[in-house]
Structure 1
């Protein structure tokens, strides 16, 4: 059977303060650094493509050169094809701000809200790095019952066509001009999010009582 290839268009929205967003696209060399992996991660094709690999010894990852207060990020990601059990291709921001929604091909798949009324800790005012990586998550596949087939290594994920509308901590206070800055999920999108999670989500830390034997994180109760 031919190994399947999946390319997803991912959008991350994260919001915080008012500032005019800069539009950045194209060259990974100018905006990102490969930060770990001992050569398993590379920026190639004149900065137009990032290649991350995972083998039994190590995974790899890259990180933005700058931190951002808020932004909208588009990225095409080709995840590991075929039998990828035990591998994770991730794309995320480190230190979320007020509100975050993750989309794949225009469909919301994850939402995380700031809930100060419940006294849930949240890093308000904290600029964020953009990071991506591929790593060994065999422990998460049915509690480690499904093993990674290392005969298929190296596992490879690819990234291209990124576009960012972002604001650094030094940008002027005018981000309210961006129409998507205050967007929230409407009822239709909220139902769509629930359907997608019910059908496709295979792991939710808010259901992992083995990982949190002393009690689930506070946001799980209110999410």
Structure 2
């Protein structure tokens, strides 16, 4: 990953919170929640703690909630430490993603954490939308209890590929194959979002497990939020600058170590891959043939 560790000025919290530590743009200015984010949904379900370093997101029967960055970014890396909903979280979705905020031809890079019944593995679904085309879901069962402690989830986005990381272990690679006419998010800046919401029609075992409102409120914990990328609006030359660290040779393909980790995840923890779903895709989608 990045040779400089992400800034993390937020200490661990032992209650139901979403926490923000500094966001860093390519210009290196630390961000605060009040200055750099806005509540996008249900401000009554979001509480600011420690001057905005810690934010609490709540889901109950009346509403979920969410936030969005005030700025958009072109390429870079976004990273956040999350402690997911403990206990019976079936029917809930905690989402952390980037989105171009365009209606028809949107780009989007998704982490969606699908709630579970107590004792079952937590599943993370990733998806990639490029030039308005999505339906590229992959699902991985996490190899640890993500509600017991904080873990780091990151998206690296450059001109070569998009990589989704869990604790710096790559779980998804989407390569830039525009030369083969495969859509890739190249032209639109994206904002950073998170939401906590009910989706018991599909989130857990395809909707078989419904949300148990007697367990509400449901809360997620976040901290250590970090973005390094080209802020939009900002210098127009930034996004195409090959000197940006995320465009450097170490980030143009997986290292040998990361390639081994990636194969380990796919062999041992992947439970769904649209690339192999012949009921949906009788012909292998062209991007699936590229591998890593």
Q: Deviations over 1:12-44 (max 9, x none)?
A: xxxxxxxx9222435222211110135223333
Corresponding residue of 1:153: 216
- Per the normalisation by structure 1, the TM-score is 0.76
* 2:228 is aligned with 1:165: yes
Corresponding residue of 1:199: 268
Q: Distance in 2 between matches of 1:63 and 1:189?
A: 30
Which range moves more in the overlay, 60-69 or 104-113? Answer: 104-113
- Secondary structure of the residue aligned to 1:194 is helix
Q: Distance in 2 between matches of 1:196 and 1:167?
A: 30
Give the gaps of 5 or more residues in structure 1: 8-19
Corresponding residue of 1:113: 175
Q: Distance in 2 between matches of 1:204 and 1:85?
A: 22
RMSD: 3.2
Alpha-carbon shift at residue 205 of structure 1 (Å): 4.8
Which range moves more in the overlay, 153-162 or 198-207? Answer: 198-207
- Secondary structure of the residue aligned to 1:177 is coil
Distance of aligned partners of 1:81 and 1:199 in 2 relative to their CA distance in 1, 3 Å threshold: farther
Alpha-carbon shift at residue 157 of structure 1 (Å): 0.9
Alpha-carbon shift at residue 213 of structure 1 (Å): 7.9
Distance of aligned partners of 1:177 and 1:124 in 2 relative to their CA distance in 1, 3 Å threshold: closer
**Greater relative contact order (Cα 8 A, min sep 6): structure 1 or 2?**
1
Of residues 186, 193, 213, the one that matches 1:131 is: 193
Q: Deviations over 1:120-156 (max 9, x none)?
A: 2334221111111112232132221122222111111
Corresponding residue of 2:245: 179
Q: Deviations over 1:85-124 (max 9, x none)?
A: 2222121111356432122222112222222133223342
Distance of aligned partners of 1:83 and 1:194 in 2 relative to their CA distance in 1, 3 Å threshold: farther
Corresponding residue of 1:35: 40
Distance of aligned partners of 1:150 and 1:207 in 2 relative to their CA distance in 1, 3 Å threshold: farther
Alpha-carbon shift at residue 70 of structure 1 (Å): 1.6
- Secondary structure of the residue aligned to 2:264 is helix
Distance of aligned partners of 1:83 and 1:201 in 2 relative to their CA distance in 1, 3 Å threshold: farther
Alpha-carbon shift at residue 202 of structure 1 (Å): 4.6
Give the gaps of 5 or more residues in structure 2: 1-14, 18-24, 100-106, 109-156
Q: Which residues in structure 2 correspond to 1:199-218 (within 5 Å)? A: 199-206=268-275, 212=280
Q: Deviations over 1:22-68 (max 9, x none)?
A: 22435222211110135223333201012212223432111110011
- Secondary structure of the residue aligned to 2:254 is coil
Distance of aligned partners of 1:219 and 1:43 in 2 relative to their CA distance in 1, 3 Å threshold: farther
State whether residues 25 and 161 of structure 1, in contact with CA within 8 Å, keep that contact through their aligned partners in structure 2: no
Aligned residues: 207
Of residues 190, 195, 201, the one that matches 2:259 is: 190
Corresponding residue of 1:45: 50
Q: Distance in 2 between matches of 1:52 and 1:219?
A: 36
